[in-house]
Amino acid sequence: MSKQTALRLPDETYERLRVLSERTGRTAAYYMRQAIEQHLEDLEDIYLAEQVLERLKRGESRTYTLAEVERELDLDD
């Protein structure tokens, strides 16, 4: 199932999208979906990284050195 939504674009962006659609024979909606799907994962990663950094700053989490991880996993030689 999919949902419909409205999106306001600056004139220049809309024109670029229109030209791309016209030249490639694909719809503007196709390219908008592609852009959102490709960048949504990046935005999610950034948001999660910011949360981790905040927890580190507050002392609620800690980092581990490679040596500590190797020792914990019994990988040290």
Instruction: Enter the pTM of the model.
Output: 0.60
Task: Return the domain boundaries, the chain.
Answer: 11-72
Q: Tens digits of per-residue pLDDT, 23-58? A: 999 999 999 999 999 999 999 999 999 999 999 999
Between the alpha carbon of residue 35 and those of residues 16, 28, 46, 65, 74, the distances in Å are 13, 11, 17, 37, 43
Q: Tens digits of per-residue pLDDT, 15-32? A: 999 999 999 999 999 999
Contact 45, 31 (CB under 8 A): no
